[in-house]
Amino acid sequence: MSDVTRMTAAQIAGLISSGEASAVEVATAHLARIDAVDERVHAFLHVDREGALEAARKVDEQRSKGEALGPLAGVPVAVKDVIATKGVPTTAASKILEGWKPPYDATIVERLRGAGTVMLGKTNMDEFAMGSSTEYSAYGATNNPWDLGRIPGGSGGGSAASLAAYEAPLAIGTDTGGSIRQPGAVTGTVGAKPTYGGTSRYGLIAFSSSLDTPGPCARTVEDAALLHSVIAGHDVRDSTSIPQAVPDVVAAARLGATGDLTGVKLGIVKEFAGEGAEPGVMAAFRESVEALVKLGAEVVEVSCPHFEFALPAYYLIAPSEASSNLARFDGVRYGLRVGDDGNRSLEEVMSLTREAGFGPEVKRRIILGTYALSSGYYDAYYGQAQKVRTLITRDFTTAFEQVDVLISPTTPFVAFPFGSRTSDPYQMYLADLYTIPTNLYGGPAISVPCGLSEGLPVGFQVMAPTMADDRMYRVAAALESAVGTFTPPELSLESAA
């Protein structure tokens, strides 16, 4: 049998249901790949070898008894470390949660288990999902499999890198401002942010509750859709979960793969044009637009005049919500506790714990958010940002009266070298220029690889109206059928394997 680590999730599921491969064989092959390359990639913070093999054995047993298998039975999956996994360390890449083992599974993890997937472990990320490069992980950065000296994107760099390095065929990410799509773009993988409320936040360590959205990461659009359909859907334990049926994203991806986009209207956002994406990124984007036109799509320019205020609005709303959500890390309830020597007050222990437990970016956000929410400044900052959010939502609504989806590059630049943006937070924030408007609106968006610039992958973003997640899958799959998939050069990783 050829190497299962190179196969798609759909292919692996097929092999397992037909009995050509066992789930244990598939899990073992992926664990061996992790052993061979993860020292250099560092996609994982924790590998759950025992748990994975146990889950795989269960699938094999079910099969041998002739029981019905879940839709992704035996397919390995890597889970971002911001998602609670029962009995398995969950740290959000922060020192403040070091050693914490949640007593429960997040809803999406429950659904992953129900579908028969095999969880390999927890992936690296920027601390509390704040960042665009994974350099803010308290446990060291993840390296981009395309070039180990470059960032894999963030905050979900570990999930994306695990796919590009063939350590896992599927991964879960969370997208608050772009953390699924931007890592997808810079690693040449697919990342989808579902409609806000389309996937449950129960068991997700909260960053910005009105924006956080868990979603699928994969190497192909169809695989992302398969994973999406397993994790999405109403959850009574999340009050913002949408009580509606999930659109058939798998059928939409398969329809798109036929390469026919006749009658589909794509909107190019006029205001994005002036924002200075790298020339190589723009070139790959333009060629992709031409490819989509050849498939029958029509391209229209639309205006979204408030998109230029998305970044500043996001950097008030997200830190404000974060400052409130992160108040629960007080040294009493979870993980780290510093200075509890019997002589210090609760406030002193809390302050020493936070000083030692939170990294610099997290502290920056807490300070910013606390300031923006303080009485006297609330209206000027947080209140104003919420008004901008409403205007951005109107821009989307108006645009979707003219077109089916909006398209743009996912990121203004390809993977950058380590250290090149950490000294200036604003330069780091720019990575999400094109992804953030969608989060403020709440609609779905996907990043699909569309070409290379200077040998590094470029992502193409498709944004759709809320609860029309199927539309973005159709267009993304059509583009994939035209341009193909992109695999990292057989780099230094291979010599280790």
Residues 323 and 339: their CA atoms lie apart, in Å, by: 23
**Shortest Cβ 1–ligand GLN spacing (Å):** 38
Size of the site for ligand GLN (CB under 6 A): 13
User: Which is the catalytic residue, given 137, 155, 208, 408?
Assistant: 155
User: If binding is defined by CB under 6 A, does position 218 make contact with ligand GLN?
Assistant: no
Q: Point out which span in 8-16, 59-67, 140-148, 172-180 binds ligand GLN (CB under 6 A).
A: 172-180
User: If binding is defined by CB under 6 A, does position 432 make contact with ligand GLN?
Assistant: yes
User: If binding is defined by CB under 6 A, does position 368 make contact with ligand GLN?
Assistant: no
Taking CB under 6 A as the criterion, the residue among 47, 72, 129, 192 binding ligand GLN is 129
Do strands 445-453 and 456-463 pair parallel, antiparallel, or not at all (unpaired)?
antiparallel
**Shortest Cβ 130–ligand GLN spacing (Å):** 5
Q: Point out which span in 27-35, 107-115, 160-168, 177-185 binds ligand GLN (CB under 6 A).
A: 177-185
User: If binding is defined by CB under 6 A, does position 459 make contact with ligand GLN?
Assistant: no
The C-alpha angle 488, 79, 42, rounded to 5 degrees, equals 50
**Shortest Cβ 494–ligand GLN spacing (Å):** 31
Nearer to ligand GLN, 304 or 316 (CB): 316
Nearer to ligand GLN, 178 or 457 (CB): 178
Nearer to ligand GLN, 100 or 434 (CB): 434
Q: Which two tokens stand for residue 284?
A: 């790959």
Q: For tokens 């320019």, name the residue.
A: 301
Taking a C-beta distance cutoff of 8 angstroms, is the pair 350, 477 a contact?
Answer: no
Nearer to ligand GLN, 179 or 408 (CB): 179
Taking CB under 6 A as the criterion, the residue among 8, 85, 155, 162 binding ligand GLN is 155
Active site residue 179: yes
- Before 155, cis peptide (omega within 30)? yes
The set of long-range contacts for 485-489, using a CB threshold of 8 Å and a minimum separation of 24, is 485/188, 485/219, 485/220, 485/449, 486/188, 486/449, 486/451, 486/452, 486/457, 487/164, 487/188, 488/145, 488/146, 488/164, 488/165, 488/188, 489/146, 489/455
Residue 17's DSSP bridge partners are none
Q: Which residues contact 371 (CB under 8 A, 6 or more apart)?
A: 377, 381
User: If binding is defined by CB under 6 A, does position 179 make contact with ligand GLN?
Assistant: yes
Residues 377 and 374: their CA atoms lie apart, in Å, by: 6
**Shortest Cβ 313–ligand GLN spacing (Å):** 12
Residues 338 and 348: their CA atoms lie apart, in Å, by: 9
User: If binding is defined by CB under 6 A, does position 178 make contact with ligand GLN?
Assistant: yes
Q: Point out which span in 128-136, 164-172, 300-308, 346-354 binds ligand GLN (CB under 6 A).
A: 128-136
In 3D, which of 171, 84, 72 has the Cα closest to residue 120? Answer: 171
**Shortest Cβ 60–ligand GLN spacing (Å):** 36
User: If binding is defined by CB under 6 A, does position 130 make contact with ligand GLN?
Assistant: yes
Q: Point out which span in 37-45, 140-148, 175-183, 282-290 binds ligand GLN (CB under 6 A).
A: 175-183
Residues 267 and 246: their CA atoms lie apart, in Å, by: 24
- Transcribe 192-222 into DSSP letters: EEPPTTTB--TTBPPS-TTT-EEEEEESSHH
Residues 61 and 55: their CA atoms lie apart, in Å, by: 10
**Shortest Cβ 436–ligand GLN spacing (Å):** 7
Catalytic residue annotation: 80, 155, 179
Binding residues (CB under 6 A) for ligand GLN: these are: 129-132, 155, 175-179, 207, 318, 432
